[in-house]
Amino acid sequence: MRAKIGLAAAGSALSLTACGTLPASSSAASSDTASARGWRVLKTASWLAVDPEVVATGPNEAWAFGGRGRTDRTRWPSAARWDGKKWRDVALPLGREGAIAAASASARTNVWAVTRGGKSPAVVRWNGRKWQVTGRLGSMTITDMVALGPKDVWVFGTARSPQSGVTWHYNGRGWRRVPTPFAVFQAGARSATDIWAVGMGRGGRQMVGRYDGRRWRTVESGVPRVRGTFNSVTATPNGVWITVDPALAEGPGAGASLLSFDGRKWRFQKMGKTVGYWAENSAPVPDGKGGMWFLGTTEPGVLKARLVHRSASGKWTIHPVRVKGYDELELGTLARLPGTSQLLAAGRAYGRAETGAIVSYR
C-alpha cells in the first residue's frame, strides 16, 4: 500500500442563499476563486481511478473497492480497509473476475460487494472477520446493490439491453430473481419495507419505483415529467432525492436538475448552469442534520469535481474540490462517516501522473 498523504487546502467556500435553486450568476462562479478548507488525500492507488466505490461503516472505519488491470475482463477485484488511521489493502476471495461494480453495508460486520458483470457476477460478504463468496448470479451487467441486513440484500442490473432489468434478492438462504416493473439503475432504502429506485422502462422512459416489503410498483402519481435522465436516488426520513442529468436535446451547458419528494408532493428544481453535471451514479448523502451533500462537476464537460451542500432550510453552499499537488479530481463516489461530519470521496486524480485517490473533507 502506498503511504497516506496528508495534504490540506486552505481557504473558504462560498455560500449561496436560494429557495431551491442555484442562481447562474457571477457570485456563484466566484466560488472557484476560494479554496475549500479541510480537503486532504488519504490514499492513492491506480485501481481507484476507474469507477471506485466507498462504503463508510463507522466513525473510524470504511472500505474502498475497485479493480486492478487494463480491461474489465482482466481486472482483479480490489479492496482496502480504513481503521481511522491507515488504509490497508485486503485480499478478496476472487480470481480475475472484473472490478467491483457495487458495494453496500448495513453494519461493520455486514459489508457486501459484487463484481462488475459478465457470465456470472460474484457476490462477497465481510462478516467482521473475513470475506466469503455468497453466490454467483446469472449473466447480467450490475448497476447497483443495497444491503439492509445479513439476510436482506438486493442486487440490480440489466441483461441484453438497458431496458431489460434483472433483480436478485438474498434472504439468508440463497438468491432468487424478483420481478421489477422496469430496469433498476440506482436504488436507496429507508428500511426493508421502503426502498426507492430509478431506472428505465419501455421506450427509454425514465421511471421511479418503490418496494413496500411485498412487491415493486411504479410511482407515477404526482411525479413531474422531466426532460433528462435520472442519475441517482437517495431515500431518507426527510424525503426522496433524485438527481437528474439534462437531456441531449437541451444542448450543452443545460445544467443539472433535482427531483425531490417530501412525503406529500414532488418538486422539480433547475439547479442552474453553475452546478454543471452530477457525478455519474453518485447518490446524494445525508449530512446528519436534515441536509444533503451532492457530488458534481463545476462545468459541463470539465473533469473538475465540486461538492454541493443543501441545508435543511434550503440554503445551498458550493465547495470547490482543491487538493495541493493535483490539478483536477474526477470524483465518482461519496460517503459520510456515521456520527461525524467527515466525508470520503474517491476517483481519478490528475497531477504529475494520473492515478486514483481517496480524499476526505471535514
Q: Exposed, middle or buried by CB within 10 Å (0-12, 13-18, 19+), for 322?
A: buried
Asked if 144 and 184 touch (Cβ cutoff 8 Å), the reply is: yes
In the chain, what are the domains? 14-361 (2.130.10.10)
Cα dist from 271 to 19, 28, 302, whole Å: 11, 12, 17
Chain-wide mean pLDDT for the chain? 84
Predicted local confidence at residue 203, as pLDDT: 87
Q: Long-range contacts of range 293-300, CB-CB < 8 Å, 24 or more positions apart? A: 293/334, 293/336, 293/343, 294/243, 295/331, 295/332, 295/333, 295/334, 295/345, 296/256, 297/330, 298/32, 298/274, 300/252, 300/253, 300/254, 300/255, 300/273, 300/276
The amino acid at 163: Q
pLDDT tens for 46-74 read 999 888 999 999 999 999 999 987 655 55
Q: What is the band of 37 on the pLDDT scale with cuts at 50, 70, 90?
A: low
pLDDT tens for 183-223 read 999 999 999 999 999 999 988 899 999 999 999 999 998 89
Asked if 320 and 338 touch (Cβ cutoff 8 Å), the reply is: no
Percent of the chain with pLDDT over 70: 83
CA distance between the termini of the chain: 24
pLDDT tens for 229-240 read 999 999 999 999
Is residue 34's pLDDT more than 50?
Answer: no
Is residue 327's pLDDT more than 90?
Answer: no
Which grid cell sits at 333? 463516489
Is residue 278's pLDDT more than 90?
Answer: no
Predicted local confidence at residue 3, as pLDDT: 27
**Where are the alpha helices (H) located in the chain, listed in sequence order?**
26-29
The amino acid at 209: G
Predicted local confidence at residue 303, as pLDDT: 65
Q: What is the band of 164 on the pLDDT scale with cuts at 50, 70, 90?
A: confident
Predicted local confidence at residue 13, as pLDDT: 30
Residues sharing a CB contact under 8 Å with residue 54, sequence separation 6 or more, in sequence order = 62, 63, 64, 65, 333, 334, 335, 344, 345, 346, 358
Q: What is the band of 179 on the pLDDT scale with cuts at 50, 70, 90?
A: very high
